[in-house]
Amino acid sequence: MAASTELTKLTAREAVRLLEAGEVSPLELIDAAAARIAAVEPAVNALPTLCLDRARAAAKVLAERPGKDKRGWLAGLPIAIKDLMDVEGVRTTYASPIYADHVPTASHPLVGRIEDRGGLVVAKSNTPEFGAGGNTYNAVFGKTRNPWNTSLTPGGSSGGAAVALATGEVWLAHGSDHGGSLRGPAAHTSVVGLRPSPGRVTRGTSNNLFNPSSVEGPMARNVPDIALFLDTMAGQCPRDPMTRPAPERGYADTVDAALADKRAWWPKRVAFSPDLGGIAPVSKAVRGVLGAAVRNLQSLGIPIEEACPEMGEIGEAFQILRAMIFVVNHGERLKTHRDMIKQDIIWNTEKGLALTPEQIAWAERERAAFHRRVIAFFEIYDLLLLPVTVLPPYDVNKTRIDGVDGVKFDNYIAASMTTSSITLTACPSLSLPAGFTEDGRPVGLQMVGRPQDEAGLLAAAALIEDMTGLAGTLPIDPREGPVLD
């Protein structure tokens, strides 16, 4: 048996290969994860709820299962599920005091799919209350800290998932994304987070089943691992009317093909926008890292020019459409538990309740017009590159970003313009590590692919990742550092 510290350094695909070959057992990986969690959790608070005995019991059952589907097969790999999603018999709080003692009797359909394909849930990852916010903290479990500097935030809302990956507590982690919750934490911790196209991954029990804005998706330490986990998650689900069958060719196979024959998958025309055509304030620190990254990619032969779709008033449209989702999710809850809900959620829900039909209709028309412009844009370009976050990781005690380089924000959502606007494209997008600021803070490069083209996006991301070599920096031990803004 390999030492547990060596096992936690494996990529997910390396670990799965060892599991399939019988060179390591699921129980050994669970023990390795448990040891790593015990070592790093006091410093980061990423996985507040453990279910190791449940995972061990599942591992024993898994060993007896015949006829395994190889696409997306995890073979007994330990994973983490975000604490917004039910896992049968495991405390699931949605990061809210209202549900502090909630233990569901059934798992979410996505958890069922992951477990059917050999994933072993060992923990629930921390998140802001009901997943709302760009900093992972809540009244139930407290703050999650960034392992690159524990004085800083890992972002939100999939902050616990990102930190668990960066520190080697698990090999794969589930997350969700509305305004940037898979992409922002990935950027802040130097991991990879993929927001799939709506309908690619089941949302199962959501009350917003017919709204494309919120999605579930994978997080990992590198692109090949993301592709593997997307293969695990993707496919039609009777509980979600927007889902569709998985593609004939697996995403992991596509990534392998791209890495084996780089020129065949080379992007032919790539756009880069540092600020969405001037509508998104982005800090000098983030601009500096991304500018250097783009110049490096150009020197390696990737054709990149500055361009982006005409954004129109998509920022205002997003805020209106998001507010309507909050009414669906929290409108009734405000009537019964208002005193137990944080102010940002109350504000966002009441904003939705105050909207007029005319405002809602305008936002829908604006979203449709924007989508038509995006379709036309991707008839010219293969990819759009832009920042993930407007700031690098900031003080873990700050609940929100108030402004950037002199530009003030009047609400907590305004800081997410670089990701929330991309949500409304309905295109797949991911955060790829791009480098570090002069004071050592991670910065992510957002890559946006053509509509419903996860395969092309993942192939391009794998090529860029292979060129930069940044994926090899993980996992890390948590590091103390000064407060930085």
Instruction: Delimit the domains of the chain by residue range.
Output: 4-473
Query: pTM higher than 0.95, yes or no?
Result: yes
Q: Are strands 119-125 and 77-82 parallel, antiparallel or unpaired?
A: parallel
Considering the chain, what is the average pLDDT of its residues? 96
Per the CB < 8 A criterion, the answer to whether 431 and 161 are in contact is: no
User: Residues 258, 261, 262, CA angle at the centre, nearest 5°?
Assistant: 70
Token code pair at residue 41: 């959790």
Q: Residue 1: is its pLDDT beyond 50? A: no
Taking residues 430-450, report their average pLDDT.
98
Residues in the chain: 485
Token code pair at residue 87: 């896992």
Of the given ranges (20-24, 225-229, 263-267), which has the lowest mean pLDDT? 263-267
Q: Residue 62: is its pLDDT beyond 70? A: yes
d(CA 184, CA 403): 16
Taking residues 38-49, report their average pLDDT.
98
State residue 470's pLDDT score: 82
pLDDT digits (tens, 9 = 90+) for 230-242: 999 999 999 999 9
The neighbour count for residue 36, using CB atoms within 10 Å, is: 21
Q: DSSP for 461-476?
A: HHHHHHHH-GGGG-S-
d(CA 275, CA 266): 25
Amino acid at 369: A
Taking residues 26-43, report their average pLDDT.
98
Q: Ramachandran region of residue 206, left (φ > 0), alpha (ψ -120 to 50) or beta?
A: beta
User: What are the beta bridge partners of residue 201?
Assistant: 234
Amino acid at 332: E
- Of 271, 279, 278, 282, nearest in space to 387 by CA: 282
Q: Which residues contact 418 (CB under 8 A, 6 or more apart)?
A: 180, 276, 280, 282, 386, 387, 388, 389, 390, 446
The neighbour count for residue 73, using CB atoms within 10 Å, is: 19
Confidence of residue 153 (pLDDT cuts 50, 70, 90): very high
Token code pair at residue 210: 């017919």
User: What are the beta bridge partners of residue 442?
Assistant: 436
Per the CB < 8 A criterion, the answer to whether 370 and 312 are in contact is: yes
User: What are the beta bridge partners of residue 435?
Assistant: 443
Q: Which residues contact 7 (CB under 8 A, 6 or more apart)?
A: 15, 24, 28, 29, 32
User: What are the beta bridge partners of residue 415?
Assistant: none
Per the CB < 8 A criterion, the answer to whether 177 and 183 are in contact is: yes
d(CA 53, CA 50): 9
Amino acid at 246: A
The neighbour count for residue 241, using CB atoms within 10 Å, is: 10
Of the given ranges (36-50, 52-66, 293-307, 328-342), which has the lowest mean pLDDT? 52-66
3-state secondary structure of 244: coil
pLDDT digits (tens, 9 = 90+) for 168-201: 999 999 999 999 999 999 999 999 999 999 999 9
Integer CA distances (angstroms), 308 to 32, 189, 274, 349, in order: 45, 26, 9, 31
What percentage of the chain reaches a pLDDT higher than 70? 99
Residue appearing with tokens 């009244």: 139
- Superfamily (CATH H level) for 4-473: Amidase signature (AS) domain (3.90.1300.10)
Integer CA distances (angstroms), 146 to 185, 187, 304, 327, 475, in order: 9, 11, 32, 32, 13
